[in-house]
Amino acid sequence: MKKTTRLIAFVLFFAFVMLTIASCANGKQDTTTETSKTETTAVDTTVTEEITTTEETTTEETTTEEETTTDNHAVQEFDMNDVVLTFGLVSDVHIGDEGRRASIKFQSALNQLQNKADELGVNLDAIVSTGDLTNNGTTDQYNTFKSLYEKIMGTDVPFVFCLGNHDAYTPLSTAYNVFTTDTYRKTVVDSELQQYGDVHYVVNGIHFVSVCGASYSSSNFSVVFSPKTKTWLDDTLKQITEEDPDAPVFVLLHCMIYDTAYGSTLDVYTSCCWYTKELTDILSQYPQVITLSGHLHFTVNDERSIMQSNFTSIGCGSTCYMAVMNGGYQNMTSVTVMADANDISNGLLFLVDSKGAVRVVRMDFSNKSSVKEDWIIPAPAEDKSHLNFYRADRKDNDNTAPVFDGSNLIVLDDVVSNSKGYLPAFYWQAATDNDMVFLYEVSVSDSTGKVLDKWKVLSDYYRVIDAKDMKKEYKLQNRINGGRLSYEEEYTVTVVAYDCWENASTPVTLKFKGILNADSEAEITIVSSSFEIK
């Protein structure tokens, strides 16, 4: 009887529990305690969050898919957590130039590239050069280059290179006869035209195509390439891009592609050409291409050193010495070489992520630092939208002209005088810019407005890593139109600042005249100025 009673009680209890569960399952939340309400709300919130998360994920995936397949709009992003290739670039090393100067700079550059890679937490997978490894192309100079390279990089880091006009002073085979060990051959996949200086390399799955000019002297200033080289280049790029259209392809050549990056229109009457017009039609078919060129020695901290058209072009600087576009500047040893050119050494560090985006770190080896913002080239896009970030028309966007701001902007001092006239030195305070001031144009005109003389003075932009480190004052002292300024006549000195895109500041002016005093010295009187003089 007791067993029966227990059984009936158990059945009734079980039935009650089941009814309660069924009631909750049907959404009948008639509970009266605060605890029950809280627990029920928590359960519902969890379910809602799960549903919302699922819906958001689905929406994001759909949006990404649409952007990739429909809009195909490139985004200027780089994934430092997924780097597949890192390589340093040293151009125009010129081993053999003026004793050990070039050798010391080369070793310093390699050490700094290695240190920068370590700082970024990546492995340095290769060193690349865009020509003029040596100054005269001799076996001894190539052996010196190889010895210095292995002293810093060892024998495990491959060396990928093209040859320049200085390397071509002797047969091209000289270079390849020196770089024959496994270290230098393990990246080569096609050396069929090596006798012409044309080689195909692959490092960590990324392709490098190296081509060499057949002649650096022609009547139209364009470097000549052999028909075999051009056909091989076209065929090689076609094969590479068909197999992997989403990866960048680096094309190494010593000269610039005409009318691309800064300096690629240089026409200087010398025995050497600086650009080529012969490869543009080929390269324009392959938007994946990033051309890397040396030869000019122009600084990499000039924003014009990267340019995009139907492909991307980069001027790679020089580890040996610096140069600039011919512009009739003061303090030059030639039309393109500054008096302090040997003080400057720079190069680049490239990183490629698994999606094909490229990050370019600009290196100022002279100051042992990277310089300015890195360039980010998005992964190749079918609609070529990855080529919209460094086009020539960017000079019209977000670029402001330099500005003079302050007092005592122009000062006349250090006057050299005699009874026939006088010559003052012009001092002026530096202008500021949203990037870096590139140059100053200084002119002197007479009372009729006739310009008697004009000078262009480069700023020290190529010597610094940050605009705030630029000189705060500049000086110019020169003969004026071959003579001296006359006493009692009024003159005006005008200074205009320009950025690298040729945006001009508002001119600052100072009107003055000189008087010959009793001691046969010139006394300068300020007549008026466009700025406040304190």
Ordered DSSP codes for 80-133:
TTSEEEEEEE-----BTSTTTHHHHHHHHHHHHHHHHHHHHT----EEEE-S--
pLDDT higher for 478 or 415? 415
Cα 326 to Cα 269: distance, rounded to the nearest angstrom: 11
Question: Strands (DSSP E) along 366-406, which ranges?
Answer: 369-370, 375-377
Tell whether the model's pLDDT for residue 56 goes beyond 80.
no
Cβ-based burial of 389 (10 A; exposed 0-12, middle 13-18, buried ≥19): middle
Tokens of 274: 């600086």
Cα 394 to Cα 226: distance, rounded to the nearest angstrom: 35
pLDDT reported for residue 316 = 98
What pLDDT, in 10s, does the model give residues 339-370? 999 999 999 999 999 999 999 999 999 999 99
Percent of the chain predicted with pLDDT > 70: 86
User: What count of other Cβ atoms lies within 10 Å of the Cβ of residue 364?
Assistant: 23
Q: Which CATH class is domain 410-529?
A: mainly beta
Tell whether the model's pLDDT for residue 515 goes beyond 90.
yes
Q: Which of 47-56, 422-431, 474-483 comes out lowest in average pLDDT?
A: 47-56
Residues found in the chain: 534
| Closest C-alpha among 326, 318, 363 to residue 343 | 318
Residue 528 contacts residue 508 (beta carbons within 8 Å): no
pTM score, two decimals? 0.85
Cα 356 to Cα 423: distance, rounded to the nearest angstrom: 59
What pLDDT, in 10s, does the model give residues 128-168? 999 999 999 999 999 999 999 999 999 889 999 999 999 98
Residue 257 contacts residue 313 (beta carbons within 8 Å): yes
Tell whether the model's pLDDT for residue 209 goes beyond 50.
yes
pLDDT reported for residue 32 = 34
**Domain residue ranges of the chain, discontinuous segments joined by +:** 34-71, 83-396, 410-529
pLDDT bucket at 409, cuts 50 / 70 / 90: very high
Cβ-based burial of 189 (10 A; exposed 0-12, middle 13-18, buried ≥19): exposed
* CATH 3.60.21.10 fits domain 83-396: yes
User: What count of other Cβ atoms lies within 10 Å of the Cβ of residue 75?
Assistant: 13
pLDDT bucket at 19, cuts 50 / 70 / 90: very low
| Tokens 């006739």 found at | 450
Tell whether the model's pLDDT for residue 269 goes beyond 90.
no
pLDDT reported for residue 51 = 28
pLDDT reported for residue 283 = 98
Tell whether the model's pLDDT for residue 222 goes beyond 80.
yes
pLDDT bucket at 72, cuts 50 / 70 / 90: low
Helices (H), 338-383: none
pLDDT reported for residue 360 = 98
Tell me what the mean pLDDT of segment 225-246 comes to: 97
